[in-house]
Chains A and B, each alone.
Chain A
Amino acid sequence: MENWIENFIDFMPILLKGTVYTVEITVASIVLSTVLGFLWALALLSRYGLLQKTMRVIINVVRGTPLLVQMFYVYFVLPDIGIQLTALQAGIIGLSICYSAYHAEIFRAGIISISSGQWEAARAIGFKNYQIMARIILPQAARTILPPLGTSFIILLKDSSLASVITVRELTRSGQLLASTTFENMQVFTLVALIYISLTQVLAYFIQNLEKRFKIP
């Protein structure tokens, strides 16, 4: 037990350093994938057929390839065409593109769940399309959007561990390195798992609060 505590004091700074990277990647990717996902959803709902069909193809390609392959692509293939990215940047971009495709579908589902009468009523008052989206549609669609979006955020957080394979020293990678040098597999990976659980709990709590804000009587 004494040994465990000593190890804990040694291990935690290293693991927490990795945690900082994990949080960085996750927050950046959540923001980017959500913004992109919303834009993709608008393209999917566009009345311009060409835009709509192109977007559909892109989303199907992104949804149809593994995240790991996408990360390899961003990190190892893009330099061949002159785009140099750090491992961290590559990880964020890979995650963001992958999840933007899922988020696009979540937004699209939420937006089309609102009856056309809402658009019509707002239009008749003199609202412009973006005003209808911001003031009328999204606040109502949030009820259907947030639960799946929140789940997706949690999966994204866990999938940030895949950035370890393109050398980002995030939480999982830190744990791996630590375990391979100390052979304290059980303790290291238990701590890693506990840190992930704490992070996902914080995220889940944040999403629940957001959901409460959009409750409609």
Chain B
Amino acid sequence: MIVQLDNIKKSFDQLKVINGVSLEVEKGQVLVIVGPSGSGKSTLLRVINALEPIDSGQVIVNGVNVHSPGIDIYRLRSEVGMVFQNFNLFPHFTALDNVAIGLRVVKKLPMKRCREAASVRLADVGLADRSHHYPSQLSGGQQQRVAIARALAMEPKVMLFDEPTSALDPELVGEVLEVMRKLAEKGMTMLVVTHEMGFAKEVGHQLIFMDEGMIIEKGEPAEVFNNPQQNRAREFFRMIL
């Protein structure tokens, strides 16, 4: 078990954003998380690399209790890659340096080696010819692929994707999903918040449907889509499919 969440609870003031979520993801598995906005999906991802503290429960990533005091949270975060809806590339660095900077700052490797490793990662996502472009000179799809390469450069054991294609023009969605599909095929453990149901069915091993901070459906993606048990989920799928 590489990621294990045990009865996670988290409130912002009075609002219960996560209300008792437990789940397990095995090595090499892809977990797809769906649900209406405000259902706690993004917060759930951010809890896994401790970008967000929790009120109670336990998060275990690769055997480490993430929210226990005294753990090396910086090292843990470097082992959990994260990809954001808005890319969040560093605009003052080239694509190459965006990918290299983590190795330089966190792993303290010499810059030359960081750049060498980074150019391999950029080639992996099909952007070898864009190394020296700045984010503002790249399309949304290219930016998101650089962001994926940036996360992969740290050699993470788990990848978290927070609506990676939601900010993209429709014609650019495919190239990002393709990179993610390949990554899954290579055996990367992935937790993906997405509304791309085609991707979920094809690549996902497990799907959870969240509403009001709780998991209300759980199972194989196709099964959950075709035969949702809860009204709330049925309505949601009818709206987006």
Which residues of A are at the interface with B, using a C-beta cutoff of 8 A?
A: 115, 117-118, 120-128, 131, 135-136, 139-140, 214, 216-217
B77/A217 in contact, CB under 8 A: no
Name the one of B75, B91, B92, B147 contacting A126, with C-beta atoms under 8 angstroms: B75
Residues of A within 8 A of B78 (CB): 125-126
- Report yes or no: B51 in contact with A127, Cβ–Cβ below 8 A: no
Chain A residues with CB under 8 A of B49: 124
Which residue of chain A has the shortest Cβ distance to B98 in the bound complex? A121
State A120–B154 Cα separation when bound (angstroms): 16
Within the assembled complex, what's the spacing in Å between the Cα atoms of A135 and B101?
A: 9
Q: What are 9 A-B contacts defined by CB distance under 8 Å?
A: A120-B51, A122-B90, A123-B51, A124-B77, A125-B101, A126-B75, A126-B102, A128-B74, A139-B92
Bound complex: CA A189 to CA B211 (Å): 76
Q: Is the CB of B101 within 8 A of A126?
A: no
Contact with A along B171-185 (1 / 0, CB 8 A): 000000000000000
Q: How far is the CB of B21 from chain A (nearest CB, A)?
A: 20
Q: Which residues of A contact B147 (CB under 8 A)?
A: 121
Q: Closest chain A residue to B102 by CB distance?
A: A125
How many Å lie between the Cα of A136 and that of B105 in the bound state?
Answer: 11
Q: Which residues of B contact A118 (CB under 8 A)?
A: 88, 90
Query: B84, A117: Cβ atoms under 8 Å?
Result: yes
CB distance from A110 to the nearest CB of B (A): 13
Q: How close is B80's CB to chain A, nearest CB, in angstroms?
A: 8
CB pair A125–B92 under 8 Å, yes or no, is no
In chain B, positions 106-134 with a C-beta closer than 8 Å to chain A are: 106, 134
Q: Is the CB of A216 within 8 A of B106?
A: no
What CA separation (Å) do A123 and B81 show in the bound complex?
11
Contact of B151 among A115, A122, A125 (CB under 8 A): A125
Determine whether the beta carbon of B154 is less than 8 Å from that of A216: no
Q: Which of A120, A127, A131, A216 contacts B88 (CB 8 A)?
A: A120
* Complex Cα–Cα for A122 and B92 (A): 13
- The one of B86, B92, B102 in contact with A216, judged by C-beta atoms closer than 8 angstroms, is B92
Given the known interface contacts A118-B88, A126-B77, A136-B90, the answer about A217 and B51 at a Cβ–Cβ threshold of 8 Å is: no
